[in-house]
Each structure stands twice: as structure tokens, then as C-alpha cells.
Amino acid sequence: MNWFTFLPLAIMLTLSAALAKAPSRLHPSWSARLLATTGAMTAVAALGTGFFVAVNYAATLAPSAAAHVPEWALFGDDRPVPDAVGVPAAVLSAAGLAAAGRAAARWAAVLRTARADAREPLDTDVPIAVAVPGRHGGVLVSRGLLRDLTSEELHVVFQHETSHLRHRHHRYLAAGALASAVLPPLRSLDARLRLATERWADEDAAEATGDRAAVARTIAKVALAQPRNPGPVSAFAESEVVERVEALLGTPPAKNAVTGPLLFMGNGVVTGSLTAATLQLDHVIVSFLVSLLAFR
């Protein structure tokens, strides 16, 4: 083991932090893709790094057992892994896997509940609209939403939620949630990803209705009616709704028909290569090829 063992993960964490903090000038659709891909790859890289360090630490503690470990799973330099590195790697890897499992279980439970509730409007005065993915999904709404919004405002809401369903935004959100569960420092990236998917749906609703101001007013009206905070003004100010409304009242974002795909593909190559390095896929491929040649 040497410093290069942790270099790919360090680069991935730096890239994730930069994407989470730096203002994006891309269309929200491309921002969401970049954030989701980077977050998911960083989480996998962290688990891969921790797993292989833990495996090599176990081989350091029990050299005789190392003979039963596949060659590709061991570091090439055969240097022993110190306790100060091996123990945290094993503990954090186990904790990360457990956190990912709990997050996936919570996500599945919420989805099952939402699908069951989507059969009829929710019996609450709070205006609620949620996109429920899946064959038995749809748009879950409350009686308060249907009562308090005008037909034009309801059209905006359904266009927004339909965008979530059409683009399968739940997959992006699941990637962000799992990444932040494995690596708590990625919570800011997860929050940025959630905002990007909402902005994506806002832009789709604005394009479908042809009235950006109407979409902004509808979003503000629904946000102000939420009882989550002591007062409606603070509820509006403390959420990301302000940023969404300001964006809708400004100039529509460029589609990024060229720069978006190029950045996304470039990011995929970089993050994919770095993640492959943490998983030692190059060693796996070499070992597989050597095994094939040995049978000939």
C-alpha cells in the first residue's frame, strides 16, 4: 500500500466538493446528471477503497490466509497495512455499507407507502403534490391542493410532477441519498442535486405552459402554504424556493446541446476511470486474461 491507493478517492472527493459549491451555469438537466453521476461514483470509490484496504489489512494480520485471497485483491507492493489505516478502513467500510442499506430500506418503504396512497387524494388541507414512480405510481395530490389552486395553477403543478416522472428523477435522488448516506460530506452535493431536479422540472413546466411567471407564482403559493415553520414568510425564505422563483423570473437557461453532453461524457470518463482504479478493475482484468491464457 502507498499514497496512490487513496489518490483516486481524494480526487473524487475534491471533484464532488467543487460541484457542490461552485455555481453551475449549465441547464439544470445537465447539472443533475453531473451531480448524480459524481456522487454515486464517489460513494462507490469510497467503499471500494475501504474494502481493499481492509482486505489487505487482514492479509497483513494473517499472512498465511493471504494465499487464499485472489491475487487481484492484494496490493502489488506487498507492503503491510498499519493498524492506524487498516482498522479505520474496516470500520468505516462496514459503517458505510450499513448506512447505504438503511437508506435503501427507508427509500423503498417511503416508495411503497406513496404508491399505496396514490390511489386517491390525501385527506389533508396542506397542498401536497408528489411524483410517485413505478407502474402503480402517478402524481399523489392532497385535497387541499385541489381546493386551493386554480385550474391554471394545477396545470403547472401537474406539468412539474410529470417532468419528475418522465425523466425518472427518483433515480437521481436515490443516487444522491445513497451517496450522502455512505459519505456524510456529500450531503451538500445531495442538496444541490435535489435543487437541480426541482429546477429541471420547473423549466419543463415553464416550457409546457409558456408562462414562467405563472410557474413562479404557483411555486411560491404552494411553499407559503406549508406549515413546517412558525410563519409562512420564514418557511418561504428558509427553503430553496426563493432560488427557484428567482430563476424562473430571470432569463431561461441555455439548453447546452453541445457543452452539456461533452461535459457529461468527460465527467463520466474521469469518474469512471477513477472509480475503476479504486475497485482495482485493472487487476481483475489482468488476472482474468492470465487465467484464460493458462487454460490454452
Instruction: Give the pLDDT band of residue 3 (cuts 50, 70, 90).
Output: low
Cβ–Cβ under 8 Å, residues 197 and 172: yes
CA pseudo-torsion sign 190, 194, 195, 199: positive
Say whether pLDDT at 279 is over 60.
Answer: yes
Cβ–Cβ under 8 Å, residues 209 and 156: yes
Of the chain, the percentage scoring pLDDT greater than 90 comes to 56
Cα gap 116→108, rounded to integer Å:
12
DSSP string, 205-272: HHHHHS-HHHHHHHHHHHHHT--SSSSHHHHHHHSSHHHHHHHHHSPPPP--TTHHHHHHHHHHHHHH
Lowest mean pLDDT across 121-130, 182-191, 211-220, 241-250: 121-130
Residue for grid cell 477513477: 274
Say whether pLDDT at 232 is over 50.
Answer: no
Question: Across residues 195-204, what is the average pLDDT?
Answer: 95
Calculate Rg over the CA atoms of the chain.
23
Question: Across residues 261-284, what is the average pLDDT?
Answer: 86
Say whether pLDDT at 68 is over 60.
Answer: yes
Say whether pLDDT at 239 is over 90.
Answer: no
Residue 163: other Cβ atoms inside 10 A: 22
Say whether pLDDT at 125 is over 50.
Answer: yes
Cβ–Cβ under 8 Å, residues 205 and 163: yes
Of the chain, the percentage scoring pLDDT greater than 70 comes to 85
Greatest CA separation found in the chain?
Answer: 75
